[in-house]
Structure 1
Amino acid sequence: MFVRELALRDFRSWRELDLEFAAEPAILVGRNGFGKTNVLEALYFATNLRSHRVSSDAALVADGADSARIATTVHNDGRELSMELTVNRVGANRVSLNTRPVKRHREVIGVLRSVMFAPEDLLLVRGEPNDRRRFLDEVITGLGPGAVAAKADYDRVLRQRAALLKTAGAALRRGGDHAESVISTLDVWDAQLAGFGAQVTANRLAVTRAVGPHFAQAYAAIAPHSRPASLAYRAAVGPEVAEADGAPRPVADIEQVLLEALAAARDKEIDRGVCLVGPHRDDLDIRLGDQPAKGYASHGESWSLALALRLATVELARADGVEPVIMLDDVFAELDSRRREHLVGYTAGAEQLLVTAAVPEDLPPGVRGRRLTVEMKQDEDDAADTAVSRRSLVVGDDKLDDDE
């Protein structure tokens, strides 16, 4: 799989970009803040229908524009699909596949499969549970539109139930019909939250089981003298949702566990006005030996663990018969020489490798290919002779040879 064409309009710092790619490495070189990462972010968005850096899509739209456009053509095993995404500053986004509007945006999930390595990956080990949940949900997109839909439905119910909980206490204190209405409505939301939450939990458990062996193997290769690394999914409701006798727990069983936990926590939830039960409170337990990696792993070990997680997702896609596009966003500047060499060797066989670097010297030997030089242009208002906007431009396109 590789991206053959990418066009951006009013996407972050790119007012206009039209690029043709091939099944080969492409390296975007430019100073920090010049827009290199924005190109990879656009492809990440085309993969996951969300940014890896911000939660609001409005931040992706260039200043002064109402919408941004991402258009890409993906070549996969002799077949090509073209996808266009319109990201609106206000209102719903639009998606089309081969010029046909797509009503359910999740239908385009899987057209492009990519894995991004970025400096922010260190948060997978040292950050908060939300960073690790996001990683799992990103990998789950590879399971197809159904898994993506379950998470979207869960998030929708979670928001609506949380809004009800904020007003539930006052309604119950008024009593009468108000109290009865709150209780009956909460019962409905509890059932939906448990149902969708069970699917989300089951999907995350499945991904953790699938990624785990690849992760352990990748970490052992990167850090052969370190302790063994392992993964486990930690559900806030307790170990009852984990595997039973080595077999996945049925979704119906997980749903029942969540329902019981919701019933037990109802008074506390109403008192605090927040949802205390569900997979939005779970975590991915990364362990080094018999200790949690967070708080015990050194800086070098943490980077090795983060790299191993990303390498494991590549192997998971390959096991599914897909060679994903691999994107390396300024990671070589963060790694020591040994980890650089391992990453270079691992990605050498990628069908398409996209790399960003501040300067060519950040690139280790072995990373060679097409080089695109990115600069930032500052437009001026001719009348006032003042800078009014900044935009990214590709100002060079050449080959980075082995002898450079």
Structure 2
Amino acid sequence: NESAEVNPLTFGWLRAIAGSNAWALETNGYRNADLTANTADSLYPQSGSTFFLFNSYNAPAGTRTILYSNCFNLPTASTGMQFDISFWMSHDTSYANDRDSLYLVISTDRGQTWNRIQGFQRYDPLFTIPNWKVENISLLAYAGQTIQIGFEGVSKFGNIIGLDNIVVRANAALPVTFASFTGKTDGTSNVLNWTTANEQNNQGFEVLRSTDGRSFSKIGFVASTHETTTRTTSYSFTDKNAASATNYYRLKQLDKDGKSSYSSVVVLRRGGRKLEIANIYPNPTVDVLNAVISSDKEEKVTLAIVDIAGRVITSQQVTTTLGSVNVSFNIKSLSKGTYFIKLINTSTSETQTERFIKQ
């Protein structure tokens, strides 16, 4: 289910730039030999019956393969115009560590050279079943140019990467910009909180829930406070019927004219982790990254900043307390790009990873 709204994109060409080709078009579900027979472990399309698959598990470590489109023209942008690309990505659950990478790449010279625009790793190392997450990247810098869009998979012989529902859009200014979307458990309920940076012609938000990360259903609606505003606005919704051990949530934003868009996915586990990164801020950041670590006891943990290739840039040893502690990193010297903050439980080796952008 790959589509575009500017010009049709044909992701039919595969190019191996080092090692063997690892991209393929997958029909229905995929499960490698190391996963159990439980079909919940399989990687299914985000929607429809097909998706692109970067088979890093079968590709030698170091394989770099680009899946790319034909050339197409982005129109010259008028005032208020936005160009962006959205896509859904996922991974299987073969390994618990971040290994493989996916980069959005752009070529302006008909595929002779490729520039990495943004990089991504696995969505959540603690997922026991695969889940999909939508990513949105601006293409406004390429307005008025002839470009090719590609997805570069880099294998470290780790997790299968899924790619689905690739859409290139030319729109006026986005009706709603999500600044944050978080959730927490509260007794027998799950509480969702989100903020918007701006709203234009916004009717409100449908709250969607899933127990498998694939099939979502509406459980509530929250009306827009202002409909149109440039101020930061906060919203909240309490799910009092969260019976499942694991619940996936996302928001469907509805415009007055009938158009819609989706937020990222929040995962809440009943009786979930007792040690976790509760929050990181600001994100994106320029010089300082703050992390809030919550715990139910005193224990030693490691916090590390790692790059997209998994290399540790800096780390701190932290002793938690009952409640939460705040840890700050000076990242002013880091180059602009995508990084990860990783929490490592020294005694159990359990990890949690959160992504942030250095501007």
Q: Same fold (TM over 0.5)?
A: no
Greater relative contact order (Cα < 8 A, sep 6+) = 1
**Structure (1/2) with the larger helix percentage:** 1
Which of 1 and 2 has greater Rg? 1
